[in-house]
Each structure stands twice: as structure tokens, then as C-alpha cells.
Amino acid sequence: MNRTALVTGGTRGIGLGIARALAKDGWNLALCGLRPAAEVRTVLSELQQAGAAVHYIGADLARQDDRRRLVEEVRSRFGALNGLVNNAGRAPRVRADLLDATEESFEEVLRTNLQGPYFLTQAIARDQIDRRRTDPTFTASIVFITSVSADMASVNRGEYCVSKAGASMAVRLFAARLAEDRVPVYEVRPGIIATDMTAAVKDAYDRRIAGGLVPERRWGQPEDVGRIVAALLRGDLPYATGSVINVDGGLSIPRL
């Protein structure tokens, strides 16, 4: 059976780790991002060599028109999607103390990290429900990639924490609403993952991880997240809609 998933922000970092894991599992992939198609050609070729049919769409999830165009193109090419992975996100352009942060930064981060995936999920879920009602064998699921910052406070990037906490609530809302239609919704919370987003703070976190901040004493890798998401989309966690899976090497374990 051909299965198709949309992975937002799927050509770099955690999103690429997820796309690689799904390609290995035989999924066809719709990917979206901000970069022109020419700049992601190498990544698309790699995923295609793994056996996936891959289609890339340039879209900014913070923009309503771009989301509408993304959904229309996905519908035209693939019909209803079996899987949606809300991965795309952004950090504040400037890490500012909570008392100095600007409304412009707050709005920019929340439009990308919360408003965008919230309404993208709404549109994709409608298609999934329609397909399931006409074809009960059609499987569908949705994953939100949030962050340990949904629960752990960082006062120099408050807008990011608020956006991820909001996305965590969105998971609960959609999980409750879609359960009767057998569309499970999950939350995956990565910890400190080695990506271009965390490259600027690598030295600082190298020291903190070595000092025990992360019980497993290592950086997380995009592939760690990818394997979890692949298991969720395969249906390896039945009867568990609304679940939160921490992929953080024990970072979020309360300790004395």
C-alpha cells in the first residue's frame, strides 16, 4: 500500500531526520520549506534514492495564502495524506530577556510555530476524515514536533516556549476531536538536538551536557526523532492518541 506523509520543514535538521526514516519505511513524501527547490535538490535526490517518491513545495506556514496553496498542491498530487508531521518551526531571531522581548518577535514565532501548524492540521484533518468515511481501510495520523520547551522555561526565549506550549495544547485538542474518526494525534518533544538551529550554542551545551544536564550525556540526533515518528506513523502505538513522547535523553526527568 502506498502511503504519503507531509513533513513540514522536511529538508533540514529534525525534519530531514524524519523524512529519512519515513523514506526507509517506504513512505512517499511531500516536503515543504522556505528555500527554493534548487537549494534542496541534493536532499530530494537522496530521499528518492531511498525509494521514496518526493515532492517539494516552497511555502511559509506563517502565511495563510502559502498554507492554502500548500494544501491545494498536496490534494492535487496525493489526495488525502496518510500522515502529517508538523515539524517546521523557528527560534527567535534574537534571544532576548523576557523583559526586553518585542511584540514583533512574539508574533513572528507564534505565527510559524503555532498558528501555521494549527490551521494546516485543520485542513489536512478534514481531508483525512472524508477519506476514512468513504474508505475505512485508509489509515491516517498526525504528529506535532514540539519541544521540551513546551514545559521547561527559558527566560531568554519566552516566545518560543509559549509557542511550543500552545502546540502541546493543540495536540490535545485535535486528539480529542479526531479520536472518534480513528485519526490519532501525537506529540513528540525533542530535547537538545544537533541541528543548524542549535549550532550557535554548541560550545555552551557541550559543556552542560558533559556536566550531566542530559542524563545520557550526549546530544540528540535528528535520526533519534525520526525513528520515533516513523513508529508513530506506522501505528506501533495503538490506543495512545494524545500521547507525549520525550526524545531528550532524560533531560526532562525531575531530579534532585
pLDDT score, position 178: 98
**Residue numbers of the chain with a pLDDT score lower than 50:** none
Residue 1's pLDDT is: 64
Q: Specify the pTM.
A: 0.97
Q: Please give the Cα distance from 38 to 46 (Å, whole number).
A: 14
Residue 15, pLDDT score = 98
Predicted confidence at residue 196, as pLDDT, reads: 87
83 three-state secondary structure: strand
Residues 6 or more apart whose Cβ sits within 8 Å of residue 220: 190, 191, 192, 193, 194, 247, 248, 249
- Active-site amino acid positions: 160
Contact of 133 with 183, CB cutoff 8 Å: no
CA dihedral 229, 118, 79, 133 (to 10 degrees): 90
What domains can you pick out in the chain, each with its CATH number? 4-198+220-247 (3.40.50.720)
* 246 phi-psi bin (left φ>0, alpha ψ -120 to 50, beta other): beta
- For residues 92 and 68, the answer to whether their CB atoms sit within 8 Å is no
